[in-house]
Amino acid sequence: MTSVVLEPELLPPVSAPRTVAAANDDPYRHRYLIAIAVTLAAVLELIDTSIVNVAIPHMMGTLGATLDEIAWVSTSYIIANVIVIPMSSWLSSYFGRRRYLTGSILIFVAASFFCGAATSLWGLVFWRVIQGLGGGALLSTAQTTLFESFPPHERGIGQSIFGVGVMVGPTLGPTLGGYIVDAYAWPWIFYINVPLGLFAAYLVWTYVRNASHQVRATSIDVLGIVLLATAVGALQWMLERGERLDWFESPFIITLALVSLTSAILLVWRELSIDEPIIDFRILKSRQLAPGVLFAAFLGLALYGSVFVLPVFLQSLHGYTASQTGMVILPGALASAFTMAIVGRNASRVDARPFIVVGAFLFLASMYMLSRLTLDAGQDQLFWPLILRGVGLGCVFVPLTNATVAGLPMRQIGQGTGMFNLMRQLGGSLGIASMATLLARLTRVEKATLTDHVGAGDANTVERMTALTRGMMSAGTDLAVAKQQALLVLDRQISAQASVLAFSRLYLVSGVLLVSALPLLLIWRTGRAAGIKGEIPH
């Protein structure tokens, strides 16, 4: 017979006032402190995914590394990160949530310090791996903790707090990194994690409690861990290096793809054949979870793809610094946070599907507006599209997360959020890799098309070349050199216009990707967030 535990927040109201002792027994009384702690830890983890990108030239100079070598500073962290994310539910059960989450934060903090103190490239890469292993717990474990730290009717609020961190973190990374590198030095992008991480660890150790429903595993699935690390690690490595090695023209990329695919197949077979798996794939039988995690992959594609494209557009074509780019993007991030706060408060009372549909089409509309930008576009033309983008993503994230795990037993929430975060992260990696590839190829195609229309027989081209040549000669340059310089200027203008056209296509691709995932919502049994098994509805 299944027992049902009545939570204090869910008991029928009584007329007598609550005593001090009853208030102290309230399991939810520290929910906002817990939310601050775990969200801060998750934000630090997400920021460190992108914060190093603006410091790469400085690292290359200090450590004497080539561009290919320094890329491992980012790649090693992300690979370690995605390996741990799907294991975090099992690790949390094995070590106990409070111990595992606090320990992971402390590992992340210690590795951050040693990253800043590193004096060699491979020393830095080693500590980035350790940092990634510690940081992997800070997403899905934090999200699971929030599910249990808030009463059922307030879980949308907890997830909206977490969602703000997830949305703002990737945006803050380059901005914060640019400011720190300009004002201080690159090691401080790691040192800043130390005081903030210690504060988060203190709050977690003080207020987070182990889940009463968790049962510690009696065995360790070593083979499952090895297969998981191989499958996810090889896939992430392939995505990180694919563009640089020309994808499947490279035998190395083909090898990584085959290793990842083979390991993934063996991993699924292994985990379905044992009683205590590292990843419980059986929960994908849920009509809520399976389409939800697949939608999360599309969300990662659209979110990280657009996050990657816009800063490149602003910095390469408009000459913005990292700090200026961050200030342009910040209003949209605040709009996303504001929207999630409103949506989160009503998440348990309304169907998630209309919010997700509206959010996806708002995102598509914002991408369409961005696709209309020209080289002359200023901050005024960027403001409203980015506000619309933030509102759209805010409408999607919290309802999607809550409805995806609706109906799962509480003991499986950790596995569910782990899969959700893994798919969003892998979708994001695929989004960045594919957008980088498409950007390069579309720019070449658009430039070739524009060049075909610019020739000696074109009257506008002749007029433009004549004006440029005269301008050069008026500055004291002789005719031959003036013609060469005019050709270079014209080539740069064609390249810039080709880049604008390529970016325009990419914005539309990001918007269409998210909208194309909407049919997955038809598979859901319900769009309601409330409905976790073992609880009495509020």
pLDDT above 70 (res 529): no
Mean predicted confidence (pLDDT) in 119-126: 88
Inside any domain, residue 9: no
DSSP letters spanning 139-201: HHHHHHHHHHHS-GGGHHHHHHHHHHHHHHHHHHHHHHHHHHHHHS-TTHHHHTHHHHHHHHH
Task: Pick the more confident residue, 417 or 476.
Answer: 417
Mean predicted confidence (pLDDT) in 82-103: 85
Residues 262 and 286 in one domain: no
Selection from 382, 76, 85 nearest residue 236 by Cα: 76
Residues 212 and 152 in one domain: yes
Inside any domain, residue 3: no
Q: Which residues contact 133 (CB under 8 A, 6 or more apart)?
A: 80, 81, 83, 84, 107
Residues 141 and 256 in one domain: no
- Dump pLDDT digits (tens) for 127-151: 999 998 888 888 778 877 887 788 8
Which 3 state secondary structure label does DSSP give 33?
helix
Q: How confident is the model at residue 520 (pLDDT cuts 50, 70, 90)?
A: very high
Domain encompassing residue 256:
222-275
Residues 477 and 532 in one domain: no
- Which of 64-73, 135-144, 228-237, 455-464 is predicted with the least confidence, judged by mean pLDDT? 455-464
Inside any domain, residue 303: yes
Cα dihedral sign, 29-32-36-42: positive
Residues 226 and 193 in one domain: no
pLDDT above 60 (res 24): no
What CATH number is associated with residue 353? 1.20.1250.20
Average pLDDT, whole number, for the chain? 79
Residues 175 and 261 in one domain: no
Task: Determine whether 212 is exposed, middle or buried from the number of CB atoms within 10 Å of its CB (0-12, 13-18, 19+).
Answer: exposed
Residues 119 and 238 in one domain: no
Query: Which residues in 381-421 belong to E strands, given as ranges?
Result: none
Q: How confident is the model at residue 229 (pLDDT cuts 50, 70, 90)?
A: confident
Mean predicted confidence (pLDDT) in 275-300: 87
Query: What is the distance between the alpha carbons of residues 532 and 277, in angstroms, rounded to a whole number?
Result: 22
- Domain limit, last residue, from 260, 275, 290: 275
Mean predicted confidence (pLDDT) in 72-88: 83
- Dump pLDDT digits (tens) for 160-207: 777 777 767 666 676 777 778 777 888 898 998 999 999 999 998 988
- Within a 10 A sphere around the Cβ of 272, how many other Cβ atoms? 12
pLDDT of residue 362: 94
Inside any domain, residue 105: yes
pLDDT of residue 214: 62
pLDDT above 70 (res 216): no
Residues 519 and 393 in one domain: yes
Residue pair 204/37 in contact (Cβ under 8 Å)? The answer is: yes
- Domain limit, last residue, from 218, 233, 250: 218
Q: How many CA atoms lie within 13 A of 127 on its CB side?
A: 19
Residues 214 and 229 in one domain: no
Residues 398 and 530 in one domain: yes
Query: What is the distance between the alpha carbons of residues 84 and 88, in angstroms, rounded to a whole number?
Result: 6
Query: What is the distance between the alpha carbons of residues 259 and 287, in angstroms, rounded to a whole number?
Result: 30
Inside any domain, residue 439: no
Inside any domain, residue 21: no
Q: How confident is the model at residue 1 (pLDDT cuts 50, 70, 90)?
A: very low
Residues 271 and 139 in one domain: no
Inside any domain, residue 440: no
Inside any domain, residue 13: no
Residues 361 and 389 in one domain: yes
- Which of 13-17, 152-156, 497-501, 502-506 is predicted with the least confidence, judged by mean pLDDT? 13-17
- Domain limit, last residue, from 218, 234, 251: 218
Please count the structural domains in the chain: 4
Q: How confident is the model at residue 538 (pLDDT cuts 50, 70, 90)?
A: very low
